[in-house]
A and B are shown apart, each in its own frame.
Chain A
Amino acid sequence: MKATTIDLSLINLPKYALYTTLRMFAALFASLLFTFVYATLAAKYRKAELIMIPILDILQSVPVLGFLTFTVTFFVGLFPGYEAGYELAAIFAVFTAQAWNMAFSLYQSLRTVPNNLIEVSRTFKFNPWHKYWRLEIPFAMPGLIWNMMMSMSGSWFFIVASEAISVGDVSVQLPGIGSWLKIAIDNKDLGKIAWAIFAMTAVIILYDQIFFRPIVKWADKFNVGQVASQLKPKSWLYDLIKKTRMLVLLGKPLGKLCNWIIRIKFFSKPTYSKSAKQKNPIIENIYTILWRMLVFSLIIGSIIFLYYYLQAYLSLQTLLHVFYLGFLTLLRVLVLVALATIIWVPIGVWIGLRPGMTAWIQPLAQFLAAFPANILFPVAVIGILHYNLNTNIWLSFLMILGTQWYILFNVIAGASAFPNDMKEVTSIFKIRSWHWWRKIILPAIFPYYVTGALTATGGSWNASIVAEVVSWGTVTLQAEGLGAYITNATNAGDFHQVVLGVTVMSIMIVFCNRLFWKRMYVYAEKHTGYN
């Protein structure tokens, strides 16, 4: 129907790289806006919190890629006949990959502002606006920035998948690295794929150096811990800016402006303690119950809606079949995460305990996590075709390709936080080998591992949507699973099947998280770690 032609001559590559980067930053900006509004409301209004946080929890575990069909339809509907609709759809897809963890981070920070600083802000009569910018946001800054970086890394995967959109018989390629890649794959042009990888690497390094490093260095001052961390963030650009007199002079009025904005009296009354306000517990309870009922009926309502939407299509047999496919994908995810654990935990520990090594491996692992594994899919296809391998087994590895690094760098982080005196104790008592692993280091890194494994699992579910159906030129390989089901339905433009597939996958992910990972978290918090 509509096709912007993607020209694979090298001269266009920088332009495409720029477009892709702009899309990602547009999405990041949108995510920030969303984060500030959503997290602030959830943190400040208990009633809002009751519904907003569970929603965020679900959004976080829903396979975003599966929604591409709907969002494209929606945004194209907003701007019929224009490319802007597709642009927005792509940006929205990236947004959905970035926003949730950022919002969570801000929400959690806002809820854990140290009490003594709150008291200071109250004795000095900060109004809510003043308090928000002077105390709450600075306190939340380090966590938020860390999550922004994670989000940026994660979103490469989505930009590659969402720039070249095809829903049913509509196929659009937006100018960008993702589309370049798609065309290169269709043309079986390995050289152009290599160029795309190169361009992407350059972009990642550039925005890390120019954007994130300086910010991380600047934000280091917001870390509340009394003891300065040993690993000080470094940034040549930040140092350069600090040393450039003109920039510093220019910065001064900016700082003044910020201070002025902070001091604007939007609300004249400072907040006082509510402890004296005698809340009637019975009325409070009734409120809560009413609220819960509302939430509950909303959930029931959406289930009924889904049922009617799928009714004509849904038979017990299809449902069973989709769940069967779901279990196949679940099995893959679990086996792969287990494999990645066996491989990366020992390596991560080994690296983490050697500070010199950690200093340069850690950024590398973060880069690898950013690297969109979908770029490497064609290589897998060539390999599978060449050796005539079983697609059901070998395509599975693509799912973990991009997400295994989360396990690695979380384990590194855990091991490098292993206290020095504990290292000394183990060497004094000559604690060795298996005993050392089981009794000392594994419990110590466990909370970190859980975080990493949870992220890896979620990522793998998402990846299954693009990894279970892979093509190279005209050849398309398929594995049996829920991901392939969703992809095929998307390509066929069958909305009913997409809805069913995504719903089943969401249900499985939510259950998996509730039944397994949540418990692991609780266990980790109670029994392991350094505290």
Chain B
Amino acid sequence: MQKKNPLVEVKNVRHFYNKGSGSDFLVLDHINLTLYEDEIVCLLGRSGSGKSTLLRVISGLIKPTEGTVTSPDKEVDWVKNNVAMVFQNFALFPWLTVQENVEVGLESLSIKSNEMQSRAIKAIDLIGLDGYENANPRELSGGMQQRVGLARALVVKPQLLLMDEPFSALDVLTEEILRADLLDLWIEGQLNTKCIFMVTHNIEEAMLMADRIILFGSNPGKITGEITINLAHPRNRLAPDFRAMLDNIYAKMTEKDEVSAKNSGLFSGMGMGMVLPYISTNILQGFMETLETNYQGKADLPKLSEILGNNNGEVLQIAEVLHLLRLCEIDDGDVSITPKGKLFALGAIDERKKIFRDHLVTYLPIVTRIHAVLDERKDHSAPISRFLSELGDYMPTLDANETMKAVISWARFAELFAVDESQDKFYLE
């Protein structure tokens, strides 16, 4: 194997998220990471784990509380001045044309305007948008908009190209095409960039693109593993070695972490600090039904995600929620139904609600807490905002909102307590 040149070194990065109330919240913990030349690295982790924060630290958008991002033998700000970024929601200026949007990347450099134009046109051609120079972003489809985003990043000839879930806002087909085009350009060496660092929650996407996958755990965000992928491009997702590696990654991502495994299963944080993803109860029920009726209660996660036609990051999340509620168990990339889960899957709606209710109260600390408070109060009601701010002590506001949204939707289904969002109230019926 040839000797690799390190391009960017992330050393001992820790980052606290300052909530202003005095208590700091640890988002990134002891991140050490080296990116080398000529590689695509994917940072794989679930949403809310702090991956995007790490990406922003590398880009210089966020200055970490501790630690450094440098390039060996280069000045301190070198990385900051040699990266470009592709954003999840494209982030194009709607009032500029495609070409002007691409030129935006160059405007802060000391470049003559005709050189700016010719470079922009070249980038637009490269990314397959020729003919659309004067179009307005609004007139373009999502896939085309992201191409503009890519051209804008590439036009500055960044040494390191950062991508923040670049395909997740696109439909499956568009995503596939765009990814293939990008890979082609990369392999042909036309991107003028030495390394691509991409954040994603989609395991298959990471598998299709990366030379190296960094597994990212959450709460606080930390690197939990690394997998090198030596498969040749273009990769065939049906090939046995691809499947084998996919299973391997699933297994690694679902591996129980000794500390948290004891009480809270796989979720980041413990007790009240558990960050819960909002997943509709319809999906939870559908998952349980499929698992029980089509797979006799035990299935391989990657296969399941294929059948359900879901993005595999999501399937993992669904399984994890069910695991948390003890309706399923995840182990080594497999998911199997528990006895209660079986009753749930086979039961009628009232039976389901009852099981769901019991498990919510027993296994979700936040629900236990809300239930207890409502129970002991005379009028059996309490403001939602109060619990929201309690959650806020453990996690960033965004996560707290998502968690509360999940709790509300599940409690509604379970008829555990009533919710009046307009009055900001939980109450027992």
Contacts and interface: CB of A to CB of B under 8 A. Distances in A.
A138 interface: yes
Nearest to A119: B61
Given A124-B105, A124-B107, A276-B63, A119 B95 contact: no
Contacts of B136: 221
Interface string A277-291: 111010000000000
Contacts of B422: 526-527
Contacts of B91: 114, 116-117, 119-120
B62 interface: yes
Given A123-B85, A138-B93, A281-B22, A276 B108 contact: no
Nearest to A273: B62
Given A123-B85, A228-B138, A256-B113, A223 B94 contact: yes
Nearest to B158: A123
B385 interface: no
A527 B422 CA distance: 6
Interface in A265-282: 270, 272-273, 275-279, 281
A527 B423 CA distance: 9
Contact of A272 (B63, B81, B89, B95): B63
A122 B61 contact: yes
Contacts of B64: 276
Interface in B43-68: 56, 59-65
Interface in B77-127: 81, 83-85, 87-89, 91, 93-95, 104-105, 107-108, 113
B156 interface: yes
Given A135-B93, A222-B95, A281-B20, A125 B84 contact: no
B94 A224 contact: yes
Contacts of B224: none
A275 B94 contact: no
A394 to B, nearest CB: 43
Interface footprint category on A: 35 or more
B5 interface: no
Contact of B59 (A123, A260, A526): A123
B107 A134 contact: yes
A39 B405 CA distance: 36
B18 interface: yes
Contacts of A127: 108
A141 B104 CA distance: 19
Given A222-B95, A275-B63, A276-B63, A126 B108 contact: yes
Interface string A244-267: 000000000000100110110000
Nearest to A135: B93
Contacts of A120: 85, 87, 91, 93, 104
Contacts of B89: 116
Contacts of B113: 256, 259-260
Interface in A199-245: 221-224, 226, 228
A138 B95 contact: yes
B95 to A, nearest CB: 5
Contact of B156 (A114, A124, A281): A124
A130 interface: yes
A220 to B, nearest CB: 9
Contacts of A272: 60-61, 63
B108 A222 contact: no
A256 to B, nearest CB: 7
A260 B112 CA distance: 10
A223 to B, nearest CB: 7
B299 to A, nearest CB: 38
Given A116-B91, A123-B59, A275 B18 contact: yes
A25 to B, nearest CB: 25
Contacts of A116: 87-89, 91
Contacts of B83: 123
Given A221-B94, A281-B20, A527-B422, A123 B62 contact: no
A313 B296 CA distance: 93
Which one of B89, B93, B138 has the highest number of Cβ atoms from chain A below 10 Å of its Cβ?
A: B93
A449 to B, nearest CB: 18
Contacts of A262: 107
B287 to A, nearest CB: 29
A114 B94 CA distance: 12
A251 to B, nearest CB: 15
B10 to A, nearest CB: 15
Which has the most chain A C-beta neighbours within 10 Å: B18, B81, B83?
B18
Contacts of B107: 124, 126, 130, 134, 262-263
A226 B138 contact: yes
B61 A123 contact: yes
B162 to A, nearest CB: 8
B63 to A, nearest CB: 3
B150 to A, nearest CB: 13
B108 A125 contact: yes
A274 to B, nearest CB: 9
A304 to B, nearest CB: 36
B22 to A, nearest CB: 6
Contacts of A260: 113
Interface in A101-147: 114, 116-117, 119-120, 122-127, 130, 134-135, 138, 141
B65 A276 contact: yes
B176 to A, nearest CB: 23
Nearest to A124: B105
A383 B65 CA distance: 75
A223 B94 CA distance: 7
B67 to A, nearest CB: 11
A102 B63 CA distance: 36
Interface in A366-405: none
Contacts of A125: 81, 108
B54 to A, nearest CB: 14
A127 B107 CA distance: 10
Interface of B: 17-18, 20, 22, 56, 59-65, 81, 83-85, 87-89, 91, 93-95, 104-105, 107-108, 113, 136, 138, 156, 422
Given A130-B107, A278-B65, 11 more contacts: A120-B87, A120-B93, A123-B59, A125-B108, A126-B107, A221-B94, A221-B95, A221-B136, A256-B113, A276-B64, A526-B422
Per CB-CB distance, the 7 closest pairs between chain A and chain B, nearest first, are A276-B63, A116-B91, A125-B108, A222-B95, A221-B95, A123-B85, A120-B91
19 contacts: A116-B91, A120-B85, A124-B84, A124-B105, A124-B108, A125-B81, A130-B107, A221-B94, A221-B136, A222-B94, A222-B95, A226-B138, A259-B113, A260-B113, A263-B107, A272-B63, A273-B61, A275-B63, A276-B64
